[in-house]
Structure 1
Amino acid sequence: MGHKKSPVRIGLLYSDTGVTSVIETHQRNAALLAIEEINQDGGLLGQEFLFSGDDTCSNPVAFRAEAERLILEDKVDALFGCYMSSCRKAVLPPVSANKSMLFYPTHYEGFEYAQGCIYSGAAPNQNAKWLADFMTQNYGRRYFFVGSNYVFPYEINSLMRDLLSNRGADVVDEVYVPLAASRSDIDNVIARIKQNGPVIIFSTMVGKSAVDFYKAYDKAGFDRTKSPICSVTAGELEMAAIGKDAAEGNIKVAPYFSVIQNDVNQRFVSNYRERFGADEALCAECEAAYFQIKLFAEAAKQVGTTEREALMRVLPTVSVDAPQGMVRVDATTNHTLLWPRVAIANAQGQFEIVREASEPVIPSPYLMQLDDPGDIPYTDLMEKGR
């Protein structure tokens, strides 16, 4: 196909409004930062690196329509974005039909492979498994699941139930609330938690509903040194929104936290806050939205084109020094090798990393290695002050 002469243009699929816009606006910001940095460094394939993309309103139908518009009208070279699994699933058919690409920056439930889709967020063996290990080793055996009513919570809860069962723990109750949960929906969940006695909460609520739930849990007075809310979804943005008092003691597992001490991350955090605001919180989904654009650009430079087959061939050979550590795409699964970490929110509402992988973890979206004895080595960074 030779060298591409016209500028590279990508499509950004992120929501400025709707239930998940709190995360997606930050993902878009991180993507813009990556594009700006590439342009400051001379652009891509000899030209300015361009982008398009309108508000997708946290709505799968809007995501699909915008993906089709970007591919067919704006002639983008690849798509970047989506947060909820329902939105990713809506976008994949037009991606497939048009032999385009989607780079998906959000942790998800696994059990998927789509040609032309690169999964940059954590697969279940890179977050849920680590959470099950840490919680059963350090907290307890009785769990209460609460989730938003869409694809991801049902799927990850089914996996988490198996993981906990394999570790001798029980799920005593499981409840789902609408994506835009009402006050009474959340009050009902709190009442059910109280009925079950001391439990550890595994939450897969997202967006504003997650923030409302964490606040209500704090107000209800549960002891988070024994009964924390643990999650693979609610991170630094949500903790900032609920405030430090309601955040303290809650736990998240993710490949990235803004407190990671390395030069690449400190530069990323500093550049992001200089560009978007000194008090802006960052999260794993932002970091993936950022590094996946660097991965795409590096692959395009190596092959001199944005043609899908050429990019898919070279991507597994490309490593990018991301804020979380060195990352690359696994050729077998199209998922990314990542660095799982467990963190607990402190009295200032900031996450402190208490356990981290000593090497990048190979993704296993089909969970073949879910409970392999040959586990990845990890480092415990602090004694739990309990």
Structure 2
Amino acid sequence: MDRINIGLLFSTSGTYRHLGRNGLLGALYAIEKVNGDPSYPFTLNADIRNPAGVVSDYVHHARSLLTSNIHHLVGTITSSTRKEIIPDVREYRGLLWYGIPYEGYECDENVVYHGACPNQNLLPLLEYAVKQFGKRIAILGSNYVWGWESCRIAREAILSVGGEVLDDSFYHLDTLNFDLIIQKLKQSHPDFIINNLIGDSSYAFLHQLDNQWSHSPLPVLSCNLTECELTCLNELPHLRLYSSLIFFESLNPAFVAQARQFVGTDTRITGNFVGSYLSVMSLANAIVKADSAEVDRVCAVLPEISTDSPMSVEIRIAANQHAILPCSIGERLGDSFVPVVNFPATAPNPYLVGHEFLTSTSGQETEPQRKLRLIR
């Protein structure tokens, strides 16, 4: 095991390029740490591909990597691209290490998930927001599986506590004009907004909403807005931005400083950076434990490994191949998120089995009061 080749599949150009670049840097930093640590009896070599946000290019690059005797892929950003390459990962007996928060409703034996699922980020965020702001909400999402499922879960959660969903709208990934929905929001005056848009669409919406909002500052909540994107946003005096992620820079300044020695002083160390970093570190730890990089042997030892994290907890992987993760809710202050509440590491429940909405965020699941309406 002198050298193990792995594929890094991140869109560093395209509409969500900021997220892709940040995830790539997190993976590269982990590779640097593994290769510099003599306790790992191998080195990792990265084959980096940039699909530029084009779904068909993800498939092309994934197949190219998998047919080049590379069995471990780290990356993808959107759920649509993850789902698109999973059939190829299965066919070529590979393993995808996914470090981005996602909408749940998936457990695949060829994927190891280090991004939070809804019971680890979205539901804690909603519980906080309902207590702080109220139950009349509007929901916006990008028109793909992340937007559909995240918006559906938010709707079900709010309705389960007697709330009201004033609007529930979806937009193409390249949408940049939100005048119509903003006019509706100005009339309905929600208590808060759930923003499940991604990339340039999200930035455009936030700028346009701030420009037109004349009431008291409106809370806008997200589970995918990271600190590397805040530099893309102007000051938004009419909005209060919140995000629910596994990591903010203020949680561990020492880790941030160490990482920046490798990735550059201007790099933001975000939840996506950390998710990709943990994916590579867990892969390396599993290879050591299995004494092999073969996928079957790596998967067999996943429940036995633990990985140091910058969140001051050891990250373990549950039987459903999802990481057990903490969550922090932060409010924007300048170009950073300042944590307002932290939740302990919570067992992943991607299908929300037995989860009673907005009454439990501790991982102690109970019987649901209502059935979910599953949209496919």
Q: TM-score, normalised by structure 2?
A: 0.91
Alignment of 1:333-348 (within 5 A): 333-346=320-333, 348=334
Deviation of residue 15 (structure 1)? 0.7
Provide the secondary structure at the position in 2 that maps to 1:250.
strand
Alignment of 1:1-386 (within 5 A): 4=1, 6-42=2-38, 44=40, 46-73=41-68, 75-182=69-176, 185-223=177-215, 225=217, 227-245=218-236, 249-260=240-251, 265-324=252-311, 325-331=313-319, 333-346=320-333, 348-357=334-343, 359-371=344-356, 375-376=361-362
Provide the secondary structure at the position in 2 that maps to 1:259.
helix
Q: Name the % identity.
A: 25
Provide the secondary structure at the position in 1 that maps to 2:307.
strand
Give the whole-Å Cα distance in 2 for the aligned partners of 1:228 and 1:234. 14
- Structure 2: gaps of 5 or more residues: 364-376
Provide the secondary structure at the position in 1 that maps to 2:102.
coil
Deviation of residue 43 (structure 1)? 7.9
Deviation of residue 334 (structure 1)? 0.9
Provide the secondary structure at the position in 2 that maps to 1:242.
coil
Structure 1 range deviating more: 190-199 or 53-62: 190-199
1:192-239: CA deviation from partner (whole Å, max 9, x where unpaired): 2113234411100101111111111221235564x2111111121222
Give the whole-Å Cα distance in 1 for the aligned partners of 2:190 and 2:105. 33
Structure 1 contact 200–229 (Cα < 8 Å) conserved? yes
Assess, with a 3 A threshold, how the Cα gap between structure 1 residues 94 and 224 changes in structure 2: closer, same or farther. Answer: farther
Deviation of residue 247 (structure 1)? 9.0
Deviation of residue 344 (structure 1)? 1.0
Structure 1 contact 20–206 (Cα < 8 Å) conserved? yes
Counterpart amino acid of 2:356? D
Provide the secondary structure at the position in 2 that maps to 1:342.
strand
Counterpart amino acid of 2:274? E
Assess, with a 3 A threshold, how the Cα gap between structure 1 residues 25 and 305 changes in structure 2: closer, same or farther. Answer: same
- Say what the alpha-carbon RMSD is for the aligned residues: 2.0
Deviation of residue 85 (structure 1)? 0.5
Provide the secondary structure at the position in 2 that maps to 1:174.
strand
- Structure 1: gaps of 5 or more residues: 378-386
Structure 1 contact 123–365 (Cα < 8 Å) conserved? yes
Structure 2 contact 99–279 (Cα < 8 Å) conserved? yes
